Chain A
Amino acid sequence: MTNSDTTGPHFAINREIASPKIPPLWRRLYSVWFRHVRVYTQNIFSNALPPFLEPLLFLVGIGLGLSRYVTRTMEGLSYIEFLGTGLLMTSAMFTASFECTFGTFIRLEFEKVYDGMLAAPITVNNLIIGEILWAGSKGLFFSFAVLCILTVFGIISLPYSLFVPLIGFITGVMFATLALLVTSFVKTINHFNFYFTGLLSPMFFFSGVVFPVADLPGKIRPVAELLPLTHSVRLARAVCTNRYSVSLLADLCYIIIFIIVVGFFAVRRLRRRLVN
């Protein structure tokens, strides 16, 4: 095999890639993540504007209307501060959930994008974990967008709150694992409606976003403690107000254990759908 083979010098093979090597783990995860970033940023305007507009809409609506009537403080915060710090996490929750339900399902069943990717030197586990990391990144970006709006309106103050997108990342990762687990069961795309209406919407209302968990009836409170969003919201408020307590360690532990356990089953079940 030489450069002078009959195909002519014009089509002589590019010899820079003489012996392909298996890319290291970080590189494999990065390429999955990069694929998603590349596709997302292709329509940067329509993809990146809504995360800023949505909290804006929410705060204007609540600020102009409802907050006049809500005069009591909640956990030592004015209502708009209380709600605003909660929205940092719900935006991360929703974006990660959309990405790993509808987004994943479409890539899996309709576009067959994963089939192509799995022909490249990555494993199914690399693919799924890359997916989770991407959902975490979206959580980071979406909570950053809310943070910008909250800061511009003077609802929360810098610099401590600058760390809150990191909690957005962890929240995104957590909800990505749950969403992927749900996706591994789903046969038709319409089934996701049950997940959104049945689990995510209740979480929005009962996880201490719009009112404190402490105000829930005694029997329901333990249920609220089981919901993942409750723990994200507590961490986010602590970071924004720079008021920490030992009990936050429990919230952090909950999130870490949730990610490991749910992530384990999500990867295992989804792998069977990708490799059979």
Chain B
Amino acid sequence: MPENVITVKKLNKSFGKLCAVCDLSFEVEANTCFGFLGPNGAGKTTVMKVLYGKCLRDANTGTVVDVLGYDPAKNELAIKSLSGVVQQEDNLDDELNVIQNLLIYANFYGLGKAVAKRQIEYLLEFLELSAKAHSRIKELSGGMKRRLVIARALMNNPRLLILDEPTTGLDPQVRHLIWGKLHQLKKRGTTILITTHYMEEAFQICDEVLIMHKGKNIMCDEPKNLLKRHVERFVLEVTDSDSMSVLDSPELSQHVRIERAEETTRLYSNDTEKLRALANKLKGAQYYLRQANLEDVFLKATGRGLDDKQ
């Protein structure tokens, strides 16, 4: 039986009357990458914080939070010493250079000088930052800062790596580089917990994805199963709504699922031929026929409108 690195049952966290996390349960197997997807304010970051003791969960009976065999409410130090955390902000010490930033954290983990020096050398090489070892933080690009924060979180060779939106705002090159590094870490036995807004990212690196909305678990499965089970295989996107009137016929909605948003109408179906036939009727209109992706699942699950927390 595979070993669980994280077991969470019926987790609740409320801020005043607001329920940030409601009755959330999930399990993360060792050596896997588990992704949290959800709109802003869905409660993803709160869950991460509960896991390493930065946030206190509601004290309900029946709640179980077990991280690497410890309960963060009782034994946060044990969890922190075995895991690494990459938070949303690049909270580096701007006054110091790259090596000095890492040395401060080597100290937190109680590494001796010689061990710390070798570990820092190794981490800089791993994240391709060796050339910047003596640069000041202000001289680093956004992507370098992010990689440095990841290096810092790896100081103790953690068994569990928690990343909160690690690639938000980064260019595709850096994102791909980070995905590569996460793959390597997983191969070496690191369990990864990641939150992201990028569907593509979740699809690329996660073994299992939990879609969260308003503090609740909407669905949780392997990415390919989410696609298979929750959304049709193909989508026809029509980008000028005026031409949609051409398609208006009562039997249409029997064959395809129609979703209307501002300027775009999306027609979902498992039958690509049917969609192609519809597309041909559109003549001059702008349309795009493609495979459905995780983003379609996500939007179907969490709705297209914005709520007051987004």
Residues of A near any B CB (own CB < 8 A):
1, 5-7, 10-11, 13-14, 16-18, 20-24, 27-28, 30-31, 34-35, 38-39, 42-43, 111-113, 115-123, 275-276
Q: Does B110 interact with chain A (Cβ within 8 Å)?
A: yes
- Report if A17-B119 is in contact (Cβ < 8 Å); known contacts: A116-B87, A119-B52, A121-B109: yes
Q: Does B17 interact with chain A (Cβ within 8 Å)?
A: no
A67 to B81, CA, bound (A): 59
| B95 → A minimal CB distance (Å) | 5
A11 to B187, CA, bound (A): 12
Contact indicator A121/B108 (Cβ below 8 Å):
yes
- Which residue on chain A has the smallest CB distance to residue B100? A38
- Report if A119-B84 is in contact (Cβ < 8 Å); known contacts: A17-B111, A20-B157, A42-B95: yes
- Report if A23-B110 is in contact (Cβ < 8 Å); known contacts: A14-B118, A14-B122, A38-B104: yes
Within 8 Å by CB of B109, from A1, A20, A24, A30, lies A20
- Which residue on chain A has the smallest CB distance to residue B81? A121
Within 8 Å by CB of A16, from B15, B78, B115, B184, lies B115
Contact indicator A120/B80 (Cβ below 8 Å):
yes
Contact indicator B91/A111 (Cβ below 8 Å):
yes
Contact indicator A17/B54 (Cβ below 8 Å):
no
- Report if A10-B125 is in contact (Cβ < 8 Å); known contacts: A115-B91, A120-B109: yes
Find the residue from A1, A13, A113 having the highest chain B CB count within 10 A. A13
Contact indicator A116/B54 (Cβ below 8 Å):
no
Residues of chain A with a CB closer than 8 A to B80's CB: 119-122
Residues of chain A with a CB closer than 8 A to B187's CB: 5-7
Give the number of residues in B that approach A within 8 Å (Cβ atoms). 47
A120 to B153, CA, bound (A): 8
Q: Does B188 interact with chain A (Cβ within 8 Å)?
A: yes
A118 to B111, CA, bound (A): 17
Within 8 Å by CB of B55, from A17, A117, A275, lies A275
Known: A14-B118, A17-B115, A20-B156. 4 other contacts (CB 8 A): A20-B81, A23-B110, A119-B84, A123-B77
Q: Does B96 interact with chain A (Cβ within 8 Å)?
A: yes
A38 to B95, CA, bound (A): 10
A230 to B56, CA, bound (A): 41
Contact indicator B108/A20 (Cβ below 8 Å):
no
Q: Does B85 interact with chain A (Cβ within 8 Å)?
A: yes
Q: Does B76 interact with chain A (Cβ within 8 Å)?
A: yes
Contact indicator A34/B54 (Cβ below 8 Å):
no
A118 to B80, CA, bound (A): 9
Residues of chain A with a CB closer than 8 A to B93's CB: 35, 38-39, 113
- Which residue on chain B has the smallest CB distance to residue A24? B110
Contact indicator A11/B104 (Cβ below 8 Å):
no
Residues of chain A with a CB closer than 8 A to B149's CB: 116
Contact indicator A22/B87 (Cβ below 8 Å):
no
Contact indicator A20/B84 (Cβ below 8 Å):
no
A122 to B54, CA, bound (A): 11
- Report if A31-B119 is in contact (Cβ < 8 Å); known contacts: A11-B184, A17-B157, A20-B109: no
Q: Does B295 interact with chain A (Cβ within 8 Å)?
A: no
The 5 nearest A-B residue pairs measured at CB: A23-B110, A120-B108, A119-B85, A116-B91, A121-B81
Find the residue from A11, A21, A121 having the highest chain B CB count within 10 A. A121
A30 to B103, CA, bound (A): 13
Residues of chain A with a CB closer than 8 A to B119's CB: 14, 16-17
Residues of chain B with a CB closer than 8 A to A123's CB: 76-77
Contact indicator A16/B118 (Cβ below 8 Å):
yes
8 cross-chain CB contacts under 8 A:
A7-B188, A20-B158, A21-B81, A111-B94, A113-B91, A113-B93, A121-B77, A121-B80
Residues of chain B with a CB closer than 8 A to A30's CB: 107
Find the residue from A6, A11, A20, A30 having the highest chain B CB count within 10 A. A20
Contact indicator B104/A31 (Cβ below 8 Å):
yes
A162 to B91, CA, bound (A): 40
Q: Does B189 interact with chain A (Cβ within 8 Å)?
A: yes
A177 to B84, CA, bound (A): 31
Contact indicator A5/B77 (Cβ below 8 Å):
no
A21 to B53, CA, bound (A): 18
Residues of chain A with a CB closer than 8 A to B104's CB: 31, 34-35, 38
A201 to B234, CA, bound (A): 72
Q: Does B126 interact with chain A (Cβ within 8 Å)?
A: yes
- Which residue on chain B has the smallest CB distance to residue A42? B95
| B181 → A minimal CB distance (Å) | 9
A66 to B119, CA, bound (A): 60
| B257 → A minimal CB distance (Å) | 42
A99 to B299, CA, bound (A): 48
Residues of chain A with a CB closer than 8 A to B91's CB: 111-113, 115-116
Q: Does B105 interact with chain A (Cβ within 8 Å)?
A: yes
- Report if A5-B100 is in contact (Cβ < 8 Å); known contacts: A119-B84, A119-B153: no
Contact indicator A39/B110 (Cβ below 8 Å):
no
Q: Does B89 interact with chain A (Cβ within 8 Å)?
A: yes
Residues of chain A with a CB closer than 8 A to B278's CB: none
Contact indicator A275/B53 (Cβ below 8 Å):
yes
Find the residue from A5, A17, A275 having the highest chain B CB count within 10 A. A17
Within 8 Å by CB of B95, from A10, A11, A39, lies A39
Contact indicator A23/B89 (Cβ below 8 Å):
no
- Which residue on chain B has the smallest CB distance to residue A23? B110
Residues of chain A with a CB closer than 8 A to B115's CB: 16-17
Contact indicator B54/A23 (Cβ below 8 Å):
no
